[in-house]
Amino acid sequence: MKLSERGVDKTLDQFDAEPLPDTHPAIPQLNRVFGDHTFFLDDSGLVILEPADSDGEAGQVVKLASWNSDHTSLKPHEPERTEVMIELGADGLEKHE
């Protein structure tokens, strides 16, 4: 899910993470591997939100990569759905025109 600025703000209100800006040098490669998402780093690693309902007003946190023991590099793995749900509301997704 690619989130709007409002969606990122709502996510950060409910989940302790840092969004990777679209200008981050890793974003093109992450998009090629995982698709067009808003990527976040948290204490566990690299995560995204996947739709938790049909209207896209809620997202489930999915972990894509985990930190090594000293938090200096990430190891990708199969996507792992977590128990964390984020309420985004109607304006949480980026609109494509």
Lowest mean pLDDT among 7-11, 34-38, 91-95: 91-95
Which helix or strand (DSSP H or E) is residue 6 part of? helix 5-14
Highest mean pLDDT among 12-16, 51-55, 56-60 belongs to: 12-16
Q: Report how far residue 34's alpha carbon sits from residue 66's, in angstroms, rounded to the nearest whole number.
A: 15
- According to DSSP, the residues that pair with 74 across neighbouring strands are 67
**Residue 41 in 3-state DSSP?**
strand
- Say if CB 88 and CB 7 are below 8 A apart: yes
The mean per-residue pLDDT over the stretch 78-89 comes to 94
